Amino acid sequence: MHSLLLRPASASLAAADGAIACWNDKYYWNFWRPIDAIHDAASDGNPATVADPTWKPLFDPATATTPTLSTPAFPDHPSGHSCVSSATLGAMQNFFGTDKIAFNIVSSRFPTQPRHYERFSLALKEVIDARVWGGIHFRTADEQGAVIGKKVAHWERRHYFQAVG
């Protein structure tokens, strides 16, 4: 298993550029999050939707966690986590020349429960699913964030960190 403790500079650059591209789109689209869409569904102009003002996401401040989880106070689309994760994992895939790299991630939230992945793409899939399951994003926001990140990593692979000589 490769050690990913020292990620290449290309991954750091991709993460930063992925975040910049993402936040540019967030404030262009200014799309509401699931909690607002569900609570205010009666005002969406579609008579087929029904509001549920009592619905709570898994990432709800009333759920006892440390630190408290909540829906972020900025637009839903695209998902920042997906943009940055996809850009970073794409850069790592470019660096190693393959998606099939086994690695572990240890969270400061759950330090005794490392997550193991056999591929970079499987970690990204879990990021996308987790943000939807947590109730903080629509799946489209996560999938589009992953596309943005992939495009960032692809562009950077073609324009930066080229072989010299």
The predicted-structure confidence for 23-57, as pLDDT tens digits, reads as follows 999 999 999 999 999 999 998 889 899 999 999 98
C-alpha to C-alpha distance for 93 and 32, rounded to whole angstroms: 32
Residue 154, number of CB atoms within 10 A of its CB: 15
**108: buried, middle or exposed (CB in 10 Å: 19+, 13-18, 0-12)?**
exposed
C-alpha to C-alpha distance for 137 and 143, rounded to whole angstroms: 10
Domains and CATH numbers, the chain: 9-159 (1.10.606.20)
Amino acid letter, residue 38: I
Q: What is the pLDDT of residue 28?
A: 95
C-alpha to C-alpha distance for 51 and 64, rounded to whole angstroms: 26
What is the distance in angstroms between the CA of the first residue and the CA of the last residue of the chain?
Answer: 30
| pLDDT above 90 as % of the chain | 68
Region class of 142: left (phi > 0), else alpha (psi between -120 and 50), else beta:
alpha
Q: State the pTM of this model.
A: 0.87
